[in-house]
């Protein structure tokens, strides 16, 4: 289908967001980093020099609108393609037509693929040779991170333009335009008060489609001629938070949640926890992330953190939501305000790197198991010192393979309880001395 036909005259019964879709660059609101005077994308569109591009951004930020603006302004043939309705067979037919246009009319074909992330690898691969030969110029739109969802070969031949959520001020411009435009709500004698339009602008998550369609619901349900904040708030209740458990925003929110706890910000952590709960995230998924965090980011700076994280997993499993939110909040605030150490996390990763590098080094004879007379005669367990026979349950001796004598993997920080661990280790280092089967290399050898 040709996008000229789609964009020329929207049906009167189309949703308000579709009826108010901009038709020219000057009507587009927001995305100034791409469309401001002198910006690259604006220049490419105005000079009809667009090469293959991917528009990446959240819903309602103008990806399809930009495609339709290009359709209206380009001298090229413009074709849209559905990732849901069409496949490789249709790609071949479209490419054959594109070659004809190029050979006989000298016209390029711009192919718009909405939701390109929905195409599988084979479908995306089908575009590649035709993009390389110049038979088509691809314009893809996606809400997903193209680094993960678009084939690397196709991505390397395309320029990615990132669209941002619209500012509240931009949303307000669109809402006011819709209230006055004949294709919108103009002519119905309706008004909207400032508080209501401010509320709607602020609570639309930067999504123009949500804002306009919510305004349409409010206009259809208002009693009287003035749309007030109560009517808008009621209409907003029909809107779901932007949070797809299998998509990009899911990972953005969980990342913000973890980084807020790591940054010792309980308020930020509670906010992102609330975002996940409100959006319907599995509370056990949240609890699992907290158990990992307790060991990775708090560690021995506060050993109770892991106990609390495991306890909240059990509590949430036992009581469920909504009451489980209280236990989650208790654990989140504890983890966020706890002293932090990643020494255990760094230690095991360093030890694993050493094992992969040096292989299965032999166990020192004095700490080998010696269940038989022959093993004892061979020296297994000889000179082993039983720690409990010594003061404070400690005796210096080598426990690493001989080749790794002096290596240190765990380095306690000075945070929380780990400060005490570090002091204890320091005192043991002072007592350590060269003895048969024990001792350490000089500190300078420590890696």
Q: Are residues 97 and 8 in the same domain?
A: yes
d(CA 395, CA 43): 75
Share of the chain above pLDDT 70, in %: 88
Total count of residues recorded for the chain: 447
Q: What is the CATH number of the domain that holds 429?
A: 1.10.3710
Domain assignment present for 198:
yes
d(CA 318, CA 295): 23
Tens of pLDDT along the chain (447 residues) come to 444 344 455 666 688 888 888 888 889 999 999 999 999 999 998 888 888 899 998 888 999 889 888 888 877 788 888 766 666 778 788 888 888 888 888 788 888 888 888 887 777 888 888 888 888 888 999 888 888 888 888 888 889 999 999 999 999 999 999 999 988 888 788 888 888 899 899 888 888 988 998 898 888 888 888 898 888 888 887 554 555 555 556 778 888 999 999 999 999 999 999 988 887 788 888 999 999 999 999 999 999 999 999 999 999 988 888 888 999 999 999 999 999 999 999 989 988 998 888 888 888 877 777 767 776 666 676 777 777 877 777 777 777 788 888 788 888 888 888 888 878 877 777 776 544 444 443 333 343
User: At CB < 8 A and 24+ separation, what contacts does 106-109 make?
Assistant: 107/75, 107/76, 107/77, 108/76, 108/77, 108/134, 108/137, 109/76, 109/77, 109/78, 109/79, 109/135, 109/136, 109/137
Q: What is the DSSP-derived secondary structure letter of residue 30?
A: S
Domain assignment present for 350:
no
Domain assignment present for 242:
no
Q: Could you tell me the pTM of the whole model? A: 0.57
| pLDDT at position 242 | 53
Question: What does the DSSP assignment read for 102-170?
Answer: IIII---EEEEEETGGGS-HHHHHHHHHHHHHTS-EEEEEESS-HHHHS-HHHHHTSEEEEPPPPPHHH
Single residue among 114, 143, 162 that ends a domain in this structure? 162
With CA atoms as reference, report the closest residue to 163 among 64, 73, 251, 256: 64
Q: Are residues 10 and 147 in the same domain?
A: yes
Q: 3-state SS of 39-70?
A: CHHHHHHHCCCCCCEEEECCCCCCHHHHHHHH
Phi, psi of 296 (to 5 degrees): -75, -40
Paired tokens of 217: 């619901």
**Residue 170 Rama label (left phi>0; alpha psi -120 to 50; beta):** alpha
Q: Are residues 282 and 311 in the same domain?
A: yes
Domain assignment present for 348:
no
Q: Are residues 9 and 155 in the same domain?
A: yes
Q: Are residues 99 and 13 in the same domain?
A: yes
Q: Are residues 125 and 19 in the same domain?
A: yes
Q: What is the per-residue pLDDT across 223-243, written as a single tens digit (0 to 9) for each?
A: 888 898 888 888 887 554 555
Q: Are residues 139 and 70 in the same domain?
A: yes
Single residue among 208, 236, 264 that ends a domain in this structure? 236
Q: Are residues 329 and 265 in the same domain?
A: yes
Domain assignment present for 342:
no
Q: What is the DSSP-derived secondary structure letter of residue 192?
A: E
The number of folded domains in the chain is: 4
| pLDDT at position 130 | 84
d(CA 67, CA 112): 7
Within a 10 A sphere around the Cβ of 50, how many other Cβ atoms?
19
Q: Are residues 117 and 19 in the same domain?
A: yes
Q: Are residues 12 and 151 in the same domain?
A: yes
Q: What is the DSSP-derived secondary structure letter of residue 300?
A: G
Q: Which residues of 187-218 are buried (b: 16+ CB within 10 A; e: fewer)?
A: eeebebeeebbbbbbebbbbbbbbbbbbbbbb
Alpha carbon separation from 187 to 182, 212, 225 (Å, rounded): 7, 17, 12
Domain assignment present for 35:
yes
Q: Which domain holds residue 49?
A: 3-162
Q: What is the CATH number of the domain that holds 95?
A: 3.40.50.300
Domain assignment present for 426:
yes
Paired tokens of 219: 């206009």
Q: Are residues 7 and 145 in the same domain?
A: yes
Q: Are residues 333 and 218 in the same domain?
A: no
Single residue among 124, 142, 162 that ends a domain in this structure? 162
- Give the count of alpha carbons within 13 A of 440, CB side only: 15
Domain assignment present for 356:
no
């Amino acid at each position: 289908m040709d996008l000229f036909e789609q964009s020329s005259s929207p049906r009167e019964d189309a949703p308000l967001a579709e009826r108010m879709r901009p038709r020219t660059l000057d009507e587009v609101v927001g995305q100034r980093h791409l469309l401001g005077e002198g910006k690259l994308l604006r220049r490419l569109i105005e000079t009809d020099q667009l090469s293959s591009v991917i528009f990446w951004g959240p819903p309602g930020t103008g990806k399809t609108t930009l495609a339709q603006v290009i359709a209206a302004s380009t001298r090229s043939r413009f074709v849209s393609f559905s990732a849901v309705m069409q496949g490789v067979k249709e790609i071949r037919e479209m490419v054959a037509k594109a070659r004809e246009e190029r050979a006989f009319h000298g016209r390029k074909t711009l192919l718009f693929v909405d939701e390109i992330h929905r195409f599988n690898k084979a479908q995306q691969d089908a575009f590649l040779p035709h993009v390389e030969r110049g038979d088509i110029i691809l314009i893809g739109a996606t809400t997903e991170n193209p680094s993960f969802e678009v084939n690397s070969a196709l991505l390397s031949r395309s320029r990615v333009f990132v669209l941002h959520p619209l500012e509240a001020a931009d949303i307000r411009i669109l809402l006011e335009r819709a209230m006055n435009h004949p294709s919108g709500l103009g002519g119905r004698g309706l008004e909207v008060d400032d508080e209501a339009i401010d509320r709607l602008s602020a609570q639309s998550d930067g999504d123009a489609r949500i804002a306009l369609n919510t305004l349409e619901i409010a206009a259809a349900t208002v009693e009287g001629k003035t749309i007030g904040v109560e009517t808008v708030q009621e209409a907003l209740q029909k809107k779901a938070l932007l949070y797809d458990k299998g998509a990009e925003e899911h990972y953005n929110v969980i990342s913000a949640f973890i980084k807020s706890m790591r940054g010792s910000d309980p308020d930020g952590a509670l906010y992102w926890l609330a975002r996940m709960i409100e959006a319907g995230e599995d509370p056990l998924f949240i609890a699992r992330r907290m158990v990992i965090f307790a060991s990775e980011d708090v560690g021995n700076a506060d050993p109770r953190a892991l106990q609390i994280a495991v306890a909240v997993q059990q509590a949430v499993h036992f009581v469920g939501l909504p009451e489980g939110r209280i236990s989650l909040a208790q654990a989140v605030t504890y983890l966020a305000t706890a002293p932090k150490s990643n020494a255990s996390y760094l230690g095991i990763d360093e030890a694993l790197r050493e094992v992969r590098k040096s292989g299965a080094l032999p166990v020192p004879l004095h700490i080998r198991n010696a269940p038989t007379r022959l093993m004892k005669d061979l020296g297994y367990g000889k000179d082993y010192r039983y720690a409990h026979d010594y003061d404070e349950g400690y005796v210096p001796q080598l426990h690493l393979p001989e080749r790794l004598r002096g290596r240190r993997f765990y380095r306690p920080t000075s945070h929380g309880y780990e400060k005490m661990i570090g002091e204890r280790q320091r005192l043991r280092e002072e007592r350590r001395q060269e003895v048969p089967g024990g001792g350490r290399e000089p500190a300078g050898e420590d890696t």
